[in-house]
């Protein structure tokens, strides 16, 4: 993590949206940086601008104040080395699983080669969906659909993976399972991950660092390093350290809410 330049850096980032009823200040003075291959989770109350943070990194939004840098370069438009996983899988209902995975290529370049399909099938195996190439999204469970969503984000082999509450629509067991699956993929092929979530235990279980955001206008009020050994697995959930971290974060968030 001493690789000099940060993967993502927010310096004095503020975001104001114009709405029908006036203006809405979503972010104010966000100041933090994320190292290459670091797994950072962002926690915070609803509407605190967590998703705005992610869209700024993706280049889908420009900050009203301050700057967002990716690998030392100011973000002015979307970059090729970033993959996004959304809260809902948002797959194309008319395309089978393989076509959904290669969709970013077909969409960007207009065509898909045999090699790309080869790579898509390898990705499918990686996210645990080998043999499901020909299925339509409607034939898959919610968890499997989100696996396709992750595969789609990994297609361009991005350095940075942005995840916007990716498992929040899943049932509790599937959610935990998907978390471990994500860790397995991340450990096999390290990437910088910015992971937005509502779940304290999910944040602690997955991340190297947890950023806690204040209510609107959002800023970083806690930057907590999670020093639990990797690889983490089912047993990690029972460790005392895990409980301490979760307890600390919960009391912090509850105190703010009160």
Partner 1 sequence: MSDTSEASSSSAQREVELTWRLAARRALHAPGLLPATTFILLLLVWEASCRLFEIPTFVLPAPSRILGGFDSIAVTRWVDHVWATLRVALIGYIASIAIALPIAVLLARSEIMSRAIYPILVVVQSTPVVAVAPIIIVALGSGDLPRVVITCLITFFPLVVSTTTGLMATPPELIELSRSLRAPVIREITQIRFPYAVPYIFSALRISVTLAVIGAVVAEFVAAEKGIGYFIQFSTSMFQVQQAWAGLVVLVLLSLILFQIVTLAQRIWFPWSLPKERT
Structure tokens belonging to residue 220? 């970083």
Would you count residue 135 as binding partner 1 (CB under 8 A)?
A: no
- Which of 1, 73, 92, 130 touches partner 1 by CB under 8 A? 92
Would you count residue 63 as binding partner 1 (CB under 8 A)?
A: no
> Which lies closer to partner 1 via its Cβ, residue 80 or residue 187?
80
Total chain residues near partner 1 (CB under 8 A): 23
Stretch near partner 1 under the rule CB under 8 A, chosen from 11-19, 92-100, 183-191, 248-256: 92-100
Q: Looking at residue 218, what DSSP letter applies? A: B
- Which of 47, 73, 74, 90 touches partner 1 by CB under 8 A? 90
Contact map string, positions 93 to 122, toward partner 1, x by CB under 8 A: xx--------xx-xxx-x------------
Would you count residue 84 as binding partner 1 (CB under 8 A)?
A: yes
- Supply the minimum distance, in Å, between the C-beta of residue 27 and partner 1: 18
> Which lies closer to partner 1 via its Cβ, residue 4 or residue 110?
110
Residue 96's DSSP bridge partners are: none
* Helices marked H in 40-113: 50-58, 97-109
N-term to C-term CA, the chain: 37
Would you count residue 74 as binding partner 1 (CB under 8 A)?
A: no
- d(CA 146, CA 142) in angstroms, rounded, equals 6
- d(CA 224, CA 251) in angstroms, rounded, equals 14
Stretch near partner 1 under the rule CB under 8 A, chosen from 18-26, 56-64, 111-119, 248-256: 56-64
Structure tokens belonging to residue 249? 């974060």
Residue 68's DSSP bridge partners are: 10
Q: 54 and 34 in contact (C-beta within 8 Å)?
A: no
- d(CA 166, CA 159) in angstroms, rounded, equals 18
Q: Which of 82, 42, 43 is nearest to 192 (CA)?
A: 82
Would you count residue 49 as binding partner 1 (CB under 8 A)?
A: no
Stretch near partner 1 under the rule CB under 8 A, chosen from 83-91, 115-123, 220-228, 233-241: 83-91
Would you count residue 60 as binding partner 1 (CB under 8 A)?
A: yes
Q: What is the CA radius of gyration of the chain?
A: 18
Q: Give the footprint of partner 1 on residues 173-192 (CB under 8 A).
A: none
Q: Give the footprint of partner 1 on residues 138-167 (CB under 8 A).
A: 138
CA atoms within 13 A on the CB side of 136: 6
Question: Can you give the three-state secondary structure of 12-60, one letter per residue?
Answer: EEEEEEEECCEEEEEEEEEEEEECCCCEEEEECCCCCCHHHHHHHHHCC
> What are the residues binding partner 1 (CB under 8 A)?
55, 58-60, 77-78, 82, 84, 86-88, 90, 92-94, 103-104, 106-108, 110, 136, 138
């Amino acid at each position: 993590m001493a690789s000099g330049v940060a993967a993502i850096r927010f310096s004095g980032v503020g975001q104001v949206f114009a709405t029908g009823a006036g203006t809405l200040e979503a972010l104010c003075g966000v100041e933090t940086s994320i190292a290459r291959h670091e797994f950072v989770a962002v926690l915070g109350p609803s509407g605190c601008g967590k998703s705005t943070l992610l869209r700024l990194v993706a280049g889908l939004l420009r900050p009203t104040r301050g700057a967002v840098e990716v690998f030392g370069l100011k973000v002015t438009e979307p970059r090729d080395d970033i993959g996004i996983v959304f809260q809902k899988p948002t797959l194309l209902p008319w395309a089978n699983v393989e076509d959904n995975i290669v969709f970013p290529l077909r969409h960007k370049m207009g065509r898909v080669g045999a090699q790309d399909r080869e790579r898509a099938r390898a990705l499918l195996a990686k996210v645990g969906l080998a043999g499901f190439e020909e299925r339509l999204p409607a034939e898959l469970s919610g968890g499997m659909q989100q696996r396709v969503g992750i595969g789609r984000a990994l297609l361009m082999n991005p350095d940075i993976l942005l995840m916007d509450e990716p498992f929040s629509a899943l049932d509790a067991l599937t959610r935990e399972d998907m978390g471990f699956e994500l860790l397995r993929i991340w450990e096999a092929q390290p990437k910088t991950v910015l992971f937005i979530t509502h779940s304290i235990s999910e944040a602690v279980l997955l991340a190297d660092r947890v950023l806690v955001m204040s209510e609107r206008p959002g800023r970083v009020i806690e930057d907590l390093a999670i020093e639990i050994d990797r690889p983490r697995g089912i047993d990690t959930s029972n460790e005392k350290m895990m409980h301490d971290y979760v307890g600390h974060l919960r009391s912090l968030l509850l105190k703010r809410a009160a």
